[in-house]
Amino acid sequence: MRDTIIAARGLSKSYRRGSENVHALRATDLSVGKGEFVSIVGPSGSGKSTLLHLLGLLETPSSGRISLQGRETSWLKERDLVKVRRGSIGFVFQQFLLLPTLTVEENIELPLLFSRKSVNKDRIAGIMEMLELTHRARHLPHQLSGGEMQRVSIGRALVNEPGIIMADEPTGNLDTATADKIYSLFKRLNEGGLSLIVVTHNMELAGRADRVIRLRDGQIISD
Amino acid sequence: MNIFSLAAKNLMRRHVRTGLTVAGVAIAIAVLFSLLSFNAGYERQLGGELNSLGIHMLAVPKGCPYEAASLIIHGGVIPKYLSYSDLEQVRKIDGIEIASPMLLHQFFKDDKPHIVYGINIEEQKALKPWWKVEGRYFRDDETGAMVVGRSLAEKENLKVGQVLDFGPGKVPTTIVGILERTGNQDDEFHFLPLAAAQHIFGKEGQLTTIAIKVDDISKISAISKKLEQIPDIQVVTMTQVMGTIMNLVGSAQALLFSVIIIALFISAVGIINTLIMSVNERTREFGMMKAVGASGWDVSRLIVIETLIITLAGCAVGLTVALGGSKLVEGFVRGVIPYSPGGELISIDPFLILVCIGFALAIGLLCSIYPAIRCARLTPMEAMRSDLE
Ligand SMILES: Nc1ncnc2c1ncn2[C@@H]1O[C@H](COP(=O)(O)OP(=O)(O)O)[C@@H](O)[C@H]1O
Ligand SMILES: [Mg+2]
């Protein structure tokens, strides 16, 4: 059995909506191995995003614990979580969330500004080449197609050399052919040793992962 | 790319709003700066003007201190007179360097007041060593000769050598000299030999005031006490005159300033609102930054820097406008304030520039610290959701 990169025990999250509690995720156990490619599927509202945000340390769980690369994170404050997130996790959003005033190249470099690493132009060029964005380096997001924007946001997730990429419906806003290309890219990254957790609606795409986790009503129903 | 260029690019994206906010700050700063500069300049200028009269105190007829104050400044008429025996008594007091008798008379031409000073020329030259004349001064025993101030000459288009029919008796009087510009009210007056003035206006043997210069200013109050013992005489010192004018001006100033301060306050509230709104609107973007590795501190810094860029840019524009437009403001203020001294009213003081920069910094920090702290505390998802709901 390979090393685990991330493990969750008894993870749950509930939100208050008016007077009632919404249990978005109920006591969930999950572990993902190094270099594993995992898809999370399930109907809308089943808790996929909630699970991914908790695993990505973007949100604090109501209960349960997460350890990342063997390190327990439950006791960490936001300021330490930042460092863990920065070094280990790359996030990709459905809405891309690029900064409209920055060029493709600058958007990719943005996390380096926060991690205070110097910009290695060769490495950035390498990332852009792999993502087929070299000719777009000086363009602004509004000049790009959806697939290109998503590749920029993948580049941004990769720039800090994380051990794992988490993507929440990365192809939700893309057409089938473009979505397929993005998955091929994920597959290639995975073959290079990167772990991936990708939430999707699309069963066919989900099937290209090593492992498919199904969620319903905040619980894992098959793995 | 660094945090400053990131902040600048964020601001450029909303250039219309950024521009308007900068303009708002600029107007507030320009008004504030003009206000403070005027306040400082006015008092200094007034003090300077009174000094430039070269006189330490005036002996005036009893019962007319306010008239006396206005007389020193505008010229004017006092309904009572001093006599030559009063002058004798004043001159007997020790420590008085110069006691120069003067007659003031006011007449109207084309509804505009004209002030005539009957003076003793040698004494006046000693009191006002900066006086220079185009042409010549008159002699004290001369008749039919006068000297006029520079502004008066320009307004009335008077030339040296010109002859005017002067006073109620239309006495032909030659302008023998025009004073070079003094920068104070002397520029507005007619000067005649004392005896000639008394004769023309039928005030023989009468004096409006006696201008006094002491040989040691530390003795001013002692000498003024002695002067007060002369039955007909009341003494007005320059310090008292200054106080009287500041009181007079004070109430008009207070009204003007409170209106401006209320306007400033309203505009500050508007600016604060815009700045806070523009941070709140972008909470989602800050959430994304946190998700890709920005710490609370990074986000706070970005917010504070963006806000300070706006307020400091506004400050720079505002100060430039205020410095460039100080003449306009001066003109406006002169129209509103009851008495304004000659010369530059607006004093450009580096300290006031610092005060304005401090004000801009304070507004910037006030507006950014709360949103910055709030954004810093949110988890990335809380931030990203905050404007989606
Ligand atoms: N911030 C929130 N406040 C209240 N309820 C929420 C919030 N986020 C998610 N939920 C609820 O939690 C449940 C799971 O949501 P989510 O994880 O987004 O599902 P999915 O991504 O599978 O569509 C849903 O019922 C949703 O309405
Ligand atoms: Mg979702």
Q: Counting atoms of ligand 1 from 1, which one is nearest the CA of A53?
A: 17
The DSSP element (H or E) to which B300 belongs, if any, is helix B296-324
Q: For chain A, how far is it from start to end, CA to CA, in angstroms?
A: 17
A12 Cβ inside 6 Å of ligand 1: no
Considering only B8-22, B220-234, B336-350, which range has the smallest mean pLDDT?
A: B336-350
For residues B206 and B81, what is the distance between their CA atoms, to the nearest angstrom? 6
Three-state DSSP at B190 gives strand
Q: Is the pLDDT of residue B285 over 60?
A: yes
Q: Are B233 and B85 in contact (CB under 8 A)?
A: no
Q: Please, which pLDDT band fits residue B388 given cuts at 50, 70 and 90?
A: very low
Higher pLDDT, B129 or B300: B300
Which residue's CA lies nearest to atom 18 of ligand 1?
Answer: A49
- Cα distances from B322 to residues A219, B314, B318, in angstroms, run 67, 12, 6
Nearest-neighbour CA in chain A from B362: distance (Å): 27
Least confident segment among A164-168, B210-214, B217-221: B217-221
Distance A83 CA to ligand 2 centre (A): 25
State residue A202's pLDDT score. Answer: 85
**What pLDDT shows up at residue B52?**
64
Q: Are B295 and A106 an interchain contact pair (Cβ–Cβ within 8 Å)?
A: no
Q: What digits encode the pLDDT tens for the residues B322-359?
A: 888 777 766 776 666 666 666 566 666 788 889 889 98
**Residues in B touching A100 (Cβ below 8 Å):** 13
Calculate how close chain A gets to B382, using CA atoms only, in Å.
Answer: 7
One digit per residue, the tens of pLDDT, for chain A of length 223 reads 568 899 999 999 998 888 888 899 998 899 999 999 999 999 999 999 999 999 999 989 999 999 998 888 888 888 888 888 888 999 999 888 999 989 999 999 999 999 888 888 899 999 999 999 999 999 999 999 998 999 999 999 999 999 999 999 999 888 888 899 899 999 999 999 999 999 998 888 888 888 999 999 988 988 8
Q: How far apart are CA B211 and CA B120, in angstroms?
A: 11
Residues of A with CB under 8 A from a CB of B: 53, 56, 58-60, 78-79, 82, 85-86, 90-91, 93, 97, 99-102, 106, 109-111, 113-115, 119, 156-157, 160
Strand ranges (DSSP E) for B110-189?
Answer: 112-119, 133-135, 145-148, 163-166, 171-179
- Gyration radius from chain B CA atoms: 31
B318 pLDDT higher than 60: yes
> Which of the ligands is closest to the CA of residue A172?
2
Ligand 1 pocket test target in A13, A49, A199 with most atoms within 8 Å of CB: A49
CATH number of A4-222: 3.40.50.300
pLDDT at B389: 39
What's the ipTM? 0.91
* Ligand number with the minimum distance to the CA of A48: 1
Q: How far apart are CA B319 and CA B310, in angstroms?
A: 14
Question: Closest by alpha carbon to A24, among A216, A221, A223?
Answer: A216
Nearest beta carbon to residue A59 from set B1, B297, B379: B379
Please name the member of A101, A109, A111 whose beta carbon is closest to the beta carbon of B10. Answer: A101
Separation of CA A50 and ligand 1 centre (Å): 6
Boundaries of every domain in chain A: 4-222
Report CB contact under 8 Å: A97, B298. Answer: no
The per-residue DSSP string of B370-382 comes to: HHHHHHHHS-HHH
Contacts of A178 (CB under 8 A, 6+ apart): A145, A146, A147, A150, A171
Q: Over 80: is that where the pLDDT of B39 sits?
A: no
Q: Read off the pLDDT of residues B43-92 as tens digits, 9 standing for 90 and up.
A: 777 666 666 667 788 888 877 655 655 565 555 566 678 888 888 888 88
- B103-128, pLDDT tens digit by residue? 988 888 877 888 899 999 998 888 88
Whether the CB of A46 sits within 6 Å of ligand 1: yes
For ligand 1, is residue A158 a contact (CB within 6 Å)? no
